[in-house]
Every structure is written in C-alpha cells, then in structure tokens.
C-alpha cells in the first residue's frame, strides 16, 4: 500500500546545497509521490530512470507555495517548498494547477506529522538570507504562520477549465498587472495605474473583478485592463503585439521612424514569435529597412530561446532585455518598444461597475 503512486510528473528541482561548496543549479527530474516517500529520478527518453534522491514523508516539516517577486531562473515558474530534516527542497511546477495538486496532496499526506513547524518562510532563501524577513540563519524559525490544512480541506478541481482553479487560489496568489490606466467612477471601484501590480480577490464576474492594491485598498475594475503577471505571459510587456501582421508591423515601425524601434509579434507558425526591428544602417540611400528575426527554441528540455546561437535564455523577456543592451548578431540593439495597443484602452462593460450601458 505504501508504494501506491499518488502523483508523478516532470518537475524542476533546485539543488539543496547540503554542503557549503555545493553548486546552486536546477535539474529536470521525474517526481514520484507515494504514501511513504517523495522520490525523484533522472529522466532520459528511452532509458531506465535513475533514482537521484528521495524524502521520507514522515520527515517533512512543511509544504508550502513560495511567493516571490524574483525572476525564476528556470523554465518552470511556479515554486513550492518542502522543508525536511535540516534542508529545504525547492520544486518548480509548469503551471499553477500542477503546483496546486502537489501542494494539496503533500499536505494531505503530512498534515499529522509530529515534526511540523508552526511558522514558515513564504519567500526564498537566497544569497545568505531569507528574502521575506532578512534573517541570516537558514534554519531560523519562519516569519508567517504555517497551516498544514490550508487548501487541503477541499480537493482541487481538475486542471480544466481554467476558471475553476482561479476560485480556489489564495487571494495573494493571483497577481495581475494593469496594462492601462483607469479612473474609478464610483466608491465601489478602484483606480488603476499602468504597470502597477494588484491582487485578485474575486474574478467570478466576467467583466469586473474585485482587486486589492499594494496599500490594501479594494475595489472593482474592468477585467480587460488586467493581465496575469508571470514571466511567460508576454502581454505584460509593451513590446509585445499579439495579433498583428508583418505588413502592419512594418507600417508601425516606419511611423515610429527611430533606429532600433522594435516589437515582438506572433509568428505565422502557431506558438512561435518574431522580433521586427527598424534600421537605416543597411541602406545606402537612407531608406529604412525592417528586419524580421524568428525567436528560435532549443530542442532540449526545458527549452530555451535565442536570436543568436551564442546567446541563449530561459525565457523570452530575458532574451529581449539582453538585446536591448547588446546587438549581438542583430542589425542594431532593440532601443524603442513600439505598441499597437497601448494608446487606446478597451471599452468597459458598462459606464461603471453595477451600471450597464
């Protein structure tokens, strides 16, 4: 019975650095959870899995989501932590649904452990200190209450449809960013500022969401003015233009008329992207040229991205940030982001919250 498999999935783990000289790296591992232990294996296609390590469930002190604003330096961006013995195992899931399943199941299996902690650290241990409370002792007591039953009283819904899991999230977990300014029209609403972060409290209504700002103020705002904040969601970046043709991109860049004006747009090939750049450097008669570069993906796992083969990155925003400072194989560095959507905010569903047109 103890060998019954509860969950199994390819995840990414960070090295636990059990020795001071141990490297800090990330490895793709095949995780298998049974009633007695959490094991992880080296996974190679066509070859037998090799056991790389395991954690006895009885020795687990805490399982919790990690909430941090740092850039996650690996392909999977949804971290959770497993505290056991005197170590911390950081695991990265490919999406929120996956992370929710693992945290829920692990909490269910360990909620009656004798060694559970009363407090945990919600952020990472990084560069010799805790990012949440600045303590410099790695095994220092946590700074927030740990509830081993939180999110374990109700079994999570299946991963689809997408709206189902939104209602199960901790409000502080649903982080969004405003992509337009919005002025509150009545006391029930909240004013939005472009590029500011907010927490979603209630997203059950299609057009109006209840959110909270960083100062604790709450109110309703148009949901179309918000996008989920995550490194892989390109919609939070001004340089990304989702549905735009090659010819329209060229027109916008020529209208901008500045050396290094650029945008990232959807490629004709589904799931792929193209960087379009304006330059006069290639012309002898001072006529502008628009260069189009496909963002390439590596064939290994997890996949990485590049424009020039010598410069490979874990995510597209990192790639763009690098080429904003270095041409590195491009005709010019990426200087000025051009957007087809930023200047005109979408029409709201109603004059204000609770008032239909």
Give 229-247 pLDDT, tens digit per residue. 876 788 888 899 988 999 9
Structure tokens belonging to residue 201: 């409290």
The full DSSP string for 261-283 is EEEEEE-SSTT-EEEEEEESTT-
pLDDT for 122 equals 92
* β-bridge partners, 51: 41
Domain limits for position 243? 237-337
- The total of structural domains in the chain comes to 3
Tell me the percentage of the chain whose pLDDT exceeds 70.
86
Q: What angle do CA 125, 314, 245 make, to 5 degrees?
A: 135
Tell me the percentage of the chain whose pLDDT exceeds 90.
49
Q: Is the pLDDT of residue 51 over 60?
A: yes
SS3 290: strand
Same domain, 183 and 254: no
Give 114-149 pLDDT, tens digit per residue. 999 999 999 999 888 999 999 999 989 999 999 988
Q: How many CA atoms lie within 13 A of 275 on its CB side?
A: 29
pLDDT for 229 equals 80
Residue 251 lies in a domain: yes
Among 187, 213, 229, residue at a domain's last position = 229
Q: Domain holding 209: CATH number?
A: 2.30.30.40
d(CA 273, CA 316): 9
Cα dihedral 46, 47, 49, 50, rounded to 10, equals -150
Residue 246 lies in a domain: yes
pTM of the model: 0.52
pLDDT for 355 equals 59
pLDDT for 281 equals 84
When computed from its CA atoms, the radius of gyration of the chain, rounded to whole angstroms, is 23
Residue 91 lies in a domain: yes
Same domain, 244 and 213: no
Structure tokens belonging to residue 113: 């452990």
Q: Which helix (H) or strand (E) holds 165?
A: helix 162-166
Q: Domain holding 93: CATH number?
A: 2.30.29.30
Same domain, 105 and 69: yes
Same domain, 260 and 207: no
Q: Domain holding 248: CATH number?
A: 3.30.505.10
pLDDT for 169 equals 44
Same domain, 326 and 247: yes
Structure tokens belonging to residue 345: 């905010």
pLDDT for 307 equals 94
Cβ neighbours around 276 below 10 Å, total: 21
d(CA 77, CA 342): 27
Between β-strands 273-279 and 289-294, what pairing exists: parallel, antiparallel or unpaired? antiparallel
Longest dimension (CA), the chain: 78
Find out whether 128 and 55 touch, Cβ atoms under 8 Å. Answer: no
pLDDT for 19 equals 63
Q: How far is CA 97 from CA 21, 213, 264, 347, in A?
A: 35, 25, 28, 31
Q: What confidence category does residue 206 fall into, taking pLDDT thresholds of 50, 70 and 90?
A: confident
Residue 307 lies in a domain: yes
Residue 168 lies in a domain: no
Same domain, 244 and 268: yes
Same domain, 200 and 271: no
Question: 242 CB contacts (<8 Å, ≥6 apart)?
Answer: 234, 235, 265, 266, 341
Same domain, 261 and 293: yes
Same domain, 179 and 254: no
Among 229, 245, 261, residue at a domain's last position = 229
Same domain, 209 and 287: no
Residue 155 lies in a domain: no
Residue 170 lies in a domain: no
Of residues 311 and 23, more confidently modeled: 311
Residue 124 lies in a domain: no
């Amino acid at each position: 019975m103890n060998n019954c498999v509860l969950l199994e999935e390819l995840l990414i783990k960070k090295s636990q650095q059990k020795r001071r000289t141990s490297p800090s790296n990330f490895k793709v591992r095949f995780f298998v959870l049974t009633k007695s232990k959490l094991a992880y294996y080296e996974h190679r296609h066509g070859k037998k899995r090799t056991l790389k390590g395991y954690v006895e469930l009885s020795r687990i002190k805490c399982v919790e989501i990690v909430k941090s604003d740092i850039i996650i330096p690996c392909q999977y961006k949804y971290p959770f932590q497993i505290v056991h013995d005197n170590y911390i195992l950081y695991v990265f899931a490919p999406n929120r649904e996956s992370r929710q399943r693992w945290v829920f199941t692990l909490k269910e299996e360990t909620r009656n452990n004798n060694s559970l902690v009363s407090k945990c650290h919600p952020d990472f241990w990084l560069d010799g200190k805790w990012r949440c409370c600045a303590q410099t002792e790695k095994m220092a007591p946590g700074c927030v209450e740990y509830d081993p039953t939180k999110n374990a009283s109700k079994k999570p819904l299946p991963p689809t449809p997408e709206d189902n899991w939104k209602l199960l999230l901790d409000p502080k977990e649903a982080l969004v960013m405003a992509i337009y300014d919005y002025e509150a029209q009545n006391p029930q609403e909240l004013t939005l500022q472009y590029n500011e972060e907010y927490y979603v409290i209630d997203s059950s209504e299609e057009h109006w969401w209840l959110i909270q700002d960083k100062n604790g103020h709450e109110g309703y705002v148009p949901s179309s003015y918000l996008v989920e904040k995550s490194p892989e969601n390109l919609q939070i970046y001004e340089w990304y233009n989702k549905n735009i043709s090659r010819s329209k991109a060229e027109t916008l860049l020529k209208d901008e008329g500045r050396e290094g004006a650029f945008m990232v747009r959807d490629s004709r090939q589904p799931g792929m992207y193209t960087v379009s750049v304006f330059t006069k450097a290639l012309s002898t008669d001072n006529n502008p040229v628009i260069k189009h570069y496909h963002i390439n993906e590596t064939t290994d796992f997890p996949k990485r991205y590049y424009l020039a083969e010598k410069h490979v990155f874990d995510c597209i925003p990192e790639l763009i940030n690098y080429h904003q400072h270095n041409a590195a194989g491009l005709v010019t560095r990426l200087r000025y982001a051009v957007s087809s959507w930023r200047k005109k905010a979408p029409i709201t569903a109603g004059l204000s919250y609770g008032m239909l047109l």
